[in-house]
Amino acid sequence: MRMRHWLPAIFVAALISVFSTHYFSDQQTARVIVPILRRLFPHAAAHAIHLMHMAIRKLAHVTEFGVFSITVFHGVRGERGGWRWNWALITLVIAVTYAGLDEWHQSFVPLRHASARDVAIDACGALLAQGLVWAYAMRRLRQTD
- Write out the DSSP string of 15-38: HHHHHTSGGGSHHHHHHHHHHHHH
* pLDDT tens-place string over residues 53-71: 999 999 999 999 999 999 9
**What pLDDT does residue 78 have?**
93
Which residues of the chain carry a pLDDT beneath 70?
Answer: 1, 145
